[in-house]
Copies of this chain bind each other. A is one copy, B any other.
Amino acid sequence: MKHHTLRVSPQTVHWGYFSKAVAASLVLRSGDRATIETLTHHANDDHERMIAGDPGAESVFAWTREHKAVPRRGAGPATGPFKLGAGEGLGVHLLTGPVVVEDAEPGDVLEVRILDVRPRPSCNHCYAGRCFGSNAAASWGFHYRDLIEEPKPREVVTIFELDTSGEPFARAVYNYVWTPQTDPDGRVHANIDYPGVRVDPASVTKREGILRNVRVPARLHFGTMGLAPAESDFVSSIPPGHTGGNIDDWRIGKGATMYYPVAVPGAFFSVGDPHAAQGDSELGGTAIETSLTGDFEFILHKQADLGGTLLEGLDHPLLETPEFWSVYGFTYPNYLAALGPEAQTLIAARSSLDPAMRDAFRKLRRFLMTVHRLSEDEAIALLSVAADFGVTQVVDANWGVHGSIRRNLFNSA
């Protein structure tokens, strides 16, 4: 067993997509562990608090007219002319990786244990040691076309501070309405439509004293984590799917284990979109987006060994915590296969919870029938009286419903 360290740098992150085609940041073997840094792609919502003085963050976010450290940000075109910028923001999340797992082949399952998760403190001497995050109530939020106060519509950024002195919690610092921001290449972003654009503090009106006396208990987790799909070389990081990705379940934190079906040789694991807290649904479009570092353990389960285990027949992501197993239903279980070559843009117009609920039902039924050897009638009864279905997210194009079953239901004589 080897313990690796993967720090963030322009060479160890990729921005806005999963990919089987980019160079590995790290190669490891089953059983190895790795400490992996991740950065929130919202850090430039408050550059002073979340980037300034942090060599890793500064290196990744570096962008001047002469030099853009990570040019491509999204699965869209990498060569211009651009409307928004390279990658065209078709995908937004800063992901660390890919981590290539030796001997991983399609049909295998990769187990990823999250051993620990820690916030990344500010390196700005003004805020040294303090931790911050950003929540953007954005144009892709569920609320956006359904606002009641003026001006409508509007995007709003709320900066939170994370208090880690005891049981960690977040508290709002200030918020502002998004105003058009000009990037170093001269493009004006009237909306939050391209990741990593630095907000000019002079251009926005900060409102302090907000959410007074409100404490949000922390739920440190990785919103986006998974493997590269086979269908395309560049896959937008926004819609989650059969190899995981942007699932946005706050339960994917310390102590959780995720299982992913391997779709390409080497597995190509990436992780990012770190969150300090999120509710089920991620209603406004984002969580408290906060840079985090995790300790992970990787275990490769070869296809030939899956029979009779928890992983038999698994063709979708599965969460295991000490308390329960969860499956993830999506509007389309594999939208890339279902919607064809234009899937990555078509999916946004197809969002619905109803098919996601159907998918979660089918996956959890399969789990009970395959892994727990129940008849269909036993499985349906148990689903009805003991399984809980929740709204994972309604903001990631391929909307999600998770189905959970408690582990302590079983094997209790």
Q: Which residues of A contact B (CB under 8 A)?
A: 135, 137, 141-143, 146-149, 156, 158, 160, 170, 172, 175, 177, 210-211, 213-217, 277-288, 352-354, 357-358, 361-362, 365, 374-378, 380-391, 394, 401, 403, 406, 408-413
Contacts and interface: CB of A to CB of B under 8 A. Distances in A.
A380 B284 CA distance: 6
A204 to B, nearest CB: 13
A372 to B, nearest CB: 8
Contact of A383 (B279, B352, B377, B390): B279
Given A279-B383, A388-B390, 16 more contacts: A141-B384, A149-B377, A158-B381, A210-B375, A213-B412, A215-B412, A278-B385, A280-B388, A280-B389, A280-B390, A281-B361, A281-B384, A284-B383, A352-B353, A357-B394, A391-B401
Contacts of A146: 358, 361-362
Contact of A384 (B137, B361, B413): B137
Contact of A381 (B284, B377, B394, B413): B284
Contact of A147 (B282, B376, B382): B376
Of A170, A216, A386, most B-chain CB atoms within 10 Å: A386
Given A283-B387, A391-B357, A381 B217 contact: no
Contact of A389 (B135, B158, B283): B283
Top 9 A-B pairs, shortest CB-CB distance: A284-B384, A280-B388, A353-B353, A281-B389, A149-B376, A389-B391, A390-B390, A158-B381, A279-B387
A279 B391 contact: no
B358 A410 contact: no
A40 to B, nearest CB: 13
Given A141-B384, A146-B358, A412-B213, A377 B281 contact: no
A105 to B, nearest CB: 29
Contacts of A382: 211, 214, 216
A389 B279 contact: yes
A413 B361 CA distance: 42
B409 A377 contact: no
- Per DSSP, are chain A's interface residues mostly helix, strand or loop, or mixed? mixed
Contacts of A283: 361, 380, 383-384, 387, 389
A49 B382 CA distance: 21
A362 B376 CA distance: 38
25 contacts: A137-B377, A137-B384, A143-B383, A156-B377, A160-B385, A172-B381, A175-B378, A175-B381, A210-B377, A211-B381, A214-B412, A217-B409, A279-B385, A279-B389, A280-B390, A281-B357, A281-B361, A281-B387, A283-B380, A352-B352, A353-B353, A354-B354, A388-B390, A389-B391, A390-B391
A279 B211 contact: no
Contacts of A148: 365, 376
A177 B375 CA distance: 13
